[in-house]
């Protein structure tokens, strides 16, 4: 009869072991520790650089089926949320697990809006950045600095404190992001306008000039809302993993969120849409696409905005964004890069290399084109990702804090360095040539 277990025979000892297979086809890595050659033996470990096949947690937040191109927050398909919800409602869903009723939504919206202001010292802190500082670098430092403003946040085991920090950070992220943007432009910071929606207020803090009241264009305001919904969470991605991993040593969530922002800064994560735009600009014209495809296939470079660790099918977010791009262009005028992108996608999806490697456009392929059409400089792209992802980070963090199975994140290693050797006085060490070879490989 079929059993939910795995039988392993250790050919070193001839012993057999039975390991339970848990829900979702999972075995516990710790079960391998029982497989030993002697009582003193440490036992087997699994080796999984970059965690390509390791589940680090049990989570109820986001479901992805990468082969089928499915993304759901708390069970709701991303396509339905992008069409019918707004960012704040989706953030509520991600953080709390259910869609709010009207009363809870209004309370949530109000609770977020009362946290859009930042301490005046934050403003001065930001003014200390160099005039040409990267806005994502500014955001990273400032999110970390929030830790010093809210010492109560250290109380991570208190439910009310966790809730308060979540509302605070979701409320303040657009303000910090907008201040960073205004700083790079040499413009005065604009204070929040809580009459406006979450994204409308963000646009006001970014773009308001001398007018008494900023009126966001409703199409662009909605487009930003959809972009924010699509970026709100993505299960155990690099920045969520950073949030959980740093959070596992129990600092306050601002310290953990700063680590998440840092993870998102990299070109393989939140910086990928900038790279995608640069790739399209480098192609320059539809007629140069075949040459680029050739270079990618010769492994001279990667096609940025293509491929994903989890999606081995079309990223459902990219589909929504491709359509959204044309709605935005009705207001902003067409970003000419869209023609190159659409043709590049068409050619790539018919090409053997991309088909066999299951490389499809990811969320970053079209998001940058939209942001650029809306007037955002490329340095703002990862910042625009960080704002909505805050809901996901806080939900992932709170889930980790509440999970009795979680402990400080501390992976094992396979040590491949020198065995025991003894300290030699400086003039008795190996000759420089031998040492230099060894030292030059070290970093």
Helix (H) or strand (E) holding 9: strand 5-10
Residue 388 interacts with ligand ACO (CB under 6 A): yes or no: no
Residues 252-281 that bind ligand ACO (CB under 6 A): 268-269, 272
Of 297, 285, 404, whose CA–CA distance to 356 is shortest? 297
Give the active site residue among 183, 231, 234, 308. Answer: 308
Q: Compute the radius of gyration of the chain from its Cα atoms.
A: 25
Q: Check binding of 308 to ligand ACO (CB under 6 A).
A: yes
Q: Return the axis-axis angle of helices 381-402 and 87-96, rounded to nearest 10°.
A: 20
Question: What is the SS3 assignment for 76?
Answer: strand
Residue in 316, 385, 318, 388 with CA at minimum distance from that of residue 95: 388
- Residue 74 or 389: which CB sits closer to ligand ACO? 389
Check 119, 269, 351, 403 and give the catalytic one.
269
Nearer to ligand ACO, 7 or 356 (CB): 356
Has 422 been annotated as catalytic? no
Q: Tokens for 120?
A: 């005046």
Nearest to 168 by CA among 115, 204, 97: 115
**Residue number with CB closer to ligand ACO (146 or 232):** 232
Return the number of the residue (272 or 374) whose C-beta is nearest ligand ACO.
Answer: 272
- Is 119 in the active site? no
Active-site entry in 364, 403, 422, 437: 364
- CA 150 – CA 143 distance, rounded (Å): 11
The torsion angle over the Cα atoms of residues 296, 300, 301 and 302, rounded to 10 degrees, is 40
Query: Which residues between 331 and 360 bind ligand ACO (CB under 6 A)?
Result: 357, 359
Q: Which residue is nearest to ligand ACO (CB)?
A: 307
Cβ atoms < 10 Å from Cβ of 394: 28
According to the binding rule CB under 6 A, does residue 387 interact with ligand ACO?
no
To ligand ACO, the closest distance from the beta carbon of 302 in angstroms equals 4
- Residues in 166-205 that interact with ligand ACO by CB under 6 A: none
Other beta carbons within 10 angstroms of residue 312's beta carbon come to: 16
Residue 305 binds ligand ACO, judged by CB under 6 A? yes
Query: Rounded to the nearest whole angstrom, what is the least distance from the CB of residue 172 to ligand ACO in the complex?
Result: 23
Least Å distance between CB 251 and ligand ACO?
25
96/269 with CB nearer ligand ACO: 269
3 state SS of 269? coil
Strand boundaries in 196-329, DSSP class E: none
Binding to ligand ACO in span 396-435, by CB under 6 A? none
Minimal distance, residue 363 CB to ligand ACO, in Å: 5
Output the six-digit token pair for 183.
Answer: 């700083």
d(CA 427, CA 81) in angstroms, rounded, equals 69
Tokens of 242: 């950073």
By CB under 6 A, residue 283 contacts ligand ACO:
no
Cβ atoms within 10 Å, residue 102:
7
Give the total of residues touching ligand ACO (CB under 6 A). Answer: 17
- Residues pairing with 18 in the sheet: 7
Based on the shown chain and the rule CB under 6 A, indicate whether residue 392 belongs to the binding site for ligand ACO: no
Q: Which is closer to ligand ACO, CB of 112 or CB of 325?
A: 325
> Closest distance between ligand ACO and the C-beta of residue 68, in Å?
17
Residues 358-377 that bind ligand ACO (CB under 6 A): 359, 362-364
- Check residue 62 for interaction with ligand ACO (CB under 6 A): no
Smallest separation (angstroms) from ligand ACO to the CB of 286: 19
Residue whose tokens read 């000759």: 431
Cα separation, 79 vs 72, in Å, equals 9
- Residue 383 binding ligand ACO, by CB under 6 A: no
Q: Is 269 a catalytic residue?
A: yes
Burial class (CB in 10 A: 0-12, 13-18, 19+), 72: middle
CB 143 within 8 A of CB 258: yes
Piece of 105-113, 142-150, 193-201, 298-306 that binds ligand ACO (CB under 6 A): 298-306
Q: How far is the CB of 195 from ligand ACO (least distance, A)?
A: 33
**312 near ligand ACO, rule: CB under 6 A:** no
Give 61's DSSP letter: S
* Number of other CB atoms surrounding residue 398 within 10 Å: 21
Which residues of the shown chain bind ligand ACO in the complex (CB under 6 A)? 268-269, 272, 296, 302-309, 357, 359, 362-364
Residues serving a catalytic function are 269, 308, 364
């Amino acid at each position: 009869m079929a059993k939910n277990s795995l039988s392993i025979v250790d050919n070193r000892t001839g012993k057999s072991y039975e390991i339970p297979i848990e829900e979702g086809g999972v075995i516990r890595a710790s079960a391998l520790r029982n497989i030993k050659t002697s009582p003193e033996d440490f036992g087997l470990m699994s080796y999984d650089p970059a965690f390509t096949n390791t589940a680090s947690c049990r989570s109820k937040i986001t479901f992805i089926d990468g082969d089928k191109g499915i993304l759901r927050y708390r069970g709701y398909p991303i396509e339905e949320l992008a069409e019918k919800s707004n960012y704040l409602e989706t953030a509520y869903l991600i953080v709390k697990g259910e869609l709010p009723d009207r009363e809870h939504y209004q309370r949530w919206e109000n609770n977020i809006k009362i946290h859009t202001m930042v301490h005046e010292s934050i403003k001065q802190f930001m003014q200390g950045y160099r005039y040409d500082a990267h806005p994502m670098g500014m955001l990273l430092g400032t999110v970390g600095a929030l830790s010093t403003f809210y010492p109560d946040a250290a109380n991570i085991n208190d439910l009310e404190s966790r809730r308060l920090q979540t509302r605070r950070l979701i409320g303040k992220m657009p303000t910090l992001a907008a201040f960073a943007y205004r700083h790079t432009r040499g413009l005065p910071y604009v204070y929040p306008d809580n009459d406006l929606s979450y994204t409308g207020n963000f646009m006001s803090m970014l773009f308001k000039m001398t007018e008494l009241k900023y009126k966001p264009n409703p199409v662009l305001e909605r487009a930003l809302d959809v972009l924010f919904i699509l970026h709100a969470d993505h299960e155990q991605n690099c920045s969520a993993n950073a949030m959980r991993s740093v959070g596992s040593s129990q600092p306050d969530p601002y310290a953990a969120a700063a680590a998440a922002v840092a993870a998102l800064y990299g070109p393989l994560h939140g910086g990928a849409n900038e790279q995608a735009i640069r790739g399209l600009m480098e192609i320059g014209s539809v007629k140069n696409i075949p040459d680029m495809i050739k270079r990618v296939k010769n492994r001279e470079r990667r096609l940025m905005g293509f491929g994903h660790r989890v999606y081995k099918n079309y990223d459902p977010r990219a589909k929504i964004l491709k359509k959204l791009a044309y709605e935005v262009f009705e207001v902003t005028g067409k970003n000419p890069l869209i023609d190159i992108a659409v043709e590049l996608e068409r050619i790539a999806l018919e090409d053997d290399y991309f088909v066999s490697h299951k490389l499809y456009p990811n969320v970053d392929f079209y998001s940058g084109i939209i942001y650029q059409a809306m007037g955002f400089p490329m340095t703002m792209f990862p910042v625009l990702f960080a704002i909505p992802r805050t809901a996901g980070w806080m939900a992932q963090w709170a889930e980790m804090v509440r999970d009795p199975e979680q402990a400080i994140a501390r992976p094992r290693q396979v040590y491949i360095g020198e065995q025991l050797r003894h300290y030699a006085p400086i003039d008795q060490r190996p000759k420089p040539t031998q040492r230099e070879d060894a030292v030059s490989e070290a970093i």
